[in-house]
Amino acid sequence: MTYNFCTLFDKNYLVKGLALYYSLLENCPDFVLWILCMDTETYTILSKMGLPKIILIKLEDFEDKELLKAKGNRTLVEYYFTCTPSLPRYILKNENVESVAYLDADLYFYSSPESIYKEFSNSSVMIIPHRFPQEHKNLENTKGIYNVGMLIFKNNKYGLECLEWWRKSCLEWCHNYYEDGKFGDQLYLNDWPKRFKEICVLQNLGANVASWNVKQYSFHKETNVIYGNEKSTGKIFHLIFYHFHGFKLYKIFNTVKTTGVTTKDVRNLIFKKYLETAREAVSEIKKCNNQSLFYGFEKSHKYFIRKIKKIALNNGKMLAYFHNKKS
């Protein structure tokens, strides 16, 4: 089957967005990725790269009067959140596709999404729980039961009904703080299993492993497949994608910082591959526009350098830095 994906990002997420794309190339033989370019630089660079299986959307072609109105009363990041439900809606209304999956630009696939779609097949909308560990379950109150990292919508009555409601809600209120049961575009998902029909709450633990839930799992690799083990139950799963929330690039040292505690198996099996791909993305971007190499990079600082653990990758052109706590 052809997997239809969409994502949105600006120049500061260009490296991450390309890493996502390369991971799809490796693990999905047949897909289309629509990219909503949130600024001119992103559209120009990606156009020059001429990557296969990608369809670019200019922001000015995407924005309608409702979005432009909302744009005037929220920050740039909040506006990006506001656009999230409008993007899959735009594709379902303008393209002849059976379904489309929204992907955050900081996801990275390690295996095929086939098992996700198999579980989703008889539903119209798919959502994935945060899976916070028990001691942090209270975060569901302010961050949401479900995460917006990956969502799938079918081009049918129930899928479009959900998207229209979500878009309308985000147009009315979508800010980067908690207020009255709302937080960005995310807390709106909380009651979808009750509000809408044919909602699939994904049970596959290999989807959306992230800094907020990774400590519940250990990982090992067999014949090029990364397997996870849920420590509390012993349940084995294969890793489909990791959500690199909090991943940061550092300009001076061409380095990477992550949030959360990372263990040796996570660093060696999951982060190392992502960092290698990120370096490849930087190299390809540089061929098109040398200045763009530093889009999304941050300045490093002495305190950070004193607190990190260093891991050299390949010939040392990129170093990965991790917090050296409990790892």
Q: Could you tell me the CATH number of the domain that includes residue 152?
A: 3.90.550.10
Question: Given this model, what pLDDT does residue 301 score?
Answer: 52
Inside any domain, residue 105: yes
Question: Given this model, what pLDDT does residue 268 score?
Answer: 87
Inside any domain, residue 149: yes
Inside any domain, residue 72: yes
Inside any domain, residue 229: no
Question: Given this model, what pLDDT does residue 325 score?
Answer: 34
Say how far apart CA 101 and CA 113 lie, in whole Å: 11
Question: Given this model, what pLDDT does residue 279 score?
Answer: 83
Q: Which residues does residue 109 pair with via DSSP β-bridges, in sequence order? A: 241
3-state secondary structure of 47: helix
> What b/e string do you get for 212-221 counting C-beta neighbours within 10 Å, with b at 16 or more?
bbbbbbebee
Query: Is the Cβ–Cβ distance between 57 and 37 less than 8 Å?
Result: yes
> What b/e string do you get for 272-303 counting C-beta neighbours within 10 Å, with b at 16 or more?
ebbbbbbbebbeebeeebeebbebbbeebeee
Inside any domain, residue 311: no
This prediction has a pTM of: 0.91
Question: Given this model, what pLDDT does residue 192 score?
Answer: 98
Q: Which residues does residue 200 pair with via DSSP β-bridges, in sequence order? A: 126
Say how far apart CA 184 and CA 309 lie, in whole Å: 33
Mean pLDDT by 10 residues, the chain (327 residues): 97 95 96 98 95 98 98 97 98 97 98 98 98 95 97 98 98 97 97 98 98 95 96 97 84 53 83 88 82 64 47 40 34
Inside any domain, residue 160: yes
Both tokens assigned to 83:
């656009």
Question: Given this model, what pLDDT does residue 12 score?
Answer: 92
Instruction: Say how many residues make up the chain.
Output: 327
Question: Given this model, what pLDDT does residue 255 score?
Answer: 53
